[in-house]
A = this chain, B = another copy of it.
Amino acid sequence: VATAQRTKKSAQPVRQRAKRGEGDRLRDEILAATADLLDELGSADKVSTRAVAERVGCSSPSIYLHFPDKAALLYAVCEQQFEKLAEVIGAAIEGIDDPVEQLRAAAGAYARFALEHPEQYRIMMLDEAYGKMYEDDFENMASSVGFDIIVRAVQEGIDRGLLAPADPVLVALAMWAGIHGLVSILIVKQNLALPPLDELLDNFCRQSLDGMRAR
């Protein structure tokens, strides 16, 4: 009867249909729900379109109104996440003059971002499917992931005579690889009883920055 209408689905947030021009509202909600579910469930495989729809409060076919398929949805989430990462790194070095200290700060920001969103970091950086997204477009990825910030800091360090002369891209890659390796291990091998992040990070920065230092 009257109550049956209420009982048809469990305690879903009954979504209001978007107004005429607001077709992208649902799109944004779907993106946000997918990002949340990634954080909660782990790999992209475990995030089903049905679960996304349930989280949003719409039907699963509605997703296909805004994304051609599941891969495109996850791709879009990835892109958003890469942008956030670049922002975080950019914010971390702001106001720091010494380029070596910039590198230290950027490394910390990168690591913290990864460990705060481990599953999103996973699909960005550890999942082959999405790893293949940025097809041989190193420049593009480099800037969207904040990598170019690191390269600039290294270059600046060399220019000022703080770091030993070298190919700044190679040097930056080595730093990136190190931090990426650290957070990957922390994310993947969660119950390995490793030293705390700060200690690992401090040690890594000391070692690798000392190795780069001009003598």
Q: Which residues of A contact B (CB under 8 A)?
A: 42-43, 45, 122, 125-128, 131-132, 134-136, 138, 141, 166-167, 169-171, 173-174, 176-182, 184-185, 187-195, 199-200, 203-204, 206-212
* Inter-subunit contact B200/A170 (CB<8 Å): yes
* Inter-subunit contact B176/A134 (CB<8 Å): no
Interface of A is mostly: helix
* Inter-subunit contact A194/B173 (CB<8 Å): yes
Q: Cα distance A181–B107 when bound, in Å?
A: 14
Q: Cα distance A126–B125 when bound, in Å?
A: 10
Q: From B125, B135, B192, give the contact of A191 (CB < 8 A).
A: B135
* Inter-subunit contact A191/B128 (CB<8 Å): no
* Contacts A126-B188, A132-B191, A141-B192; A211 near B207 (Cβ below 8 A): yes
Report the minimal beta-carbon distance from A177 to chain B, rounded to whole angstroms: 4
Report the minimal beta-carbon distance from A141 to chain B, rounded to whole angstroms: 7
Q: Cα distance A205–B180 when bound, in Å?
A: 16
Q: Which residues from B are CB-within-8-Å of A207?
A: 171, 174, 208, 211-212
* Inter-subunit contact B192/A128 (CB<8 Å): no
* Inter-subunit contact B136/A188 (CB<8 Å): no
* Inter-subunit contact B181/A138 (CB<8 Å): no
Q: Which residues from B are CB-within-8-Å of A166?
A: 203
Q: Which residues from B are CB-within-8-Å of A170?
A: 195, 199-200, 203
* Inter-subunit contact A181/B192 (CB<8 Å): no
Please name the 10 residue pairs, one residue from A and one from B, whose CB atoms are nearest each other, closest first.
A181-B181, A211-B211, A177-B181, A131-B188, A207-B211, A210-B211, A180-B181, A178-B178, A177-B182, A136-B191
Q: Which residues from B are CB-within-8-Å of A132?
A: 189-191
Q: Which residues from B are CB-within-8-Å of A193?
A: 136, 138
* Contacts A170-B199, A177-B182, A211-B209; A127 near B204 (Cβ below 8 A): no
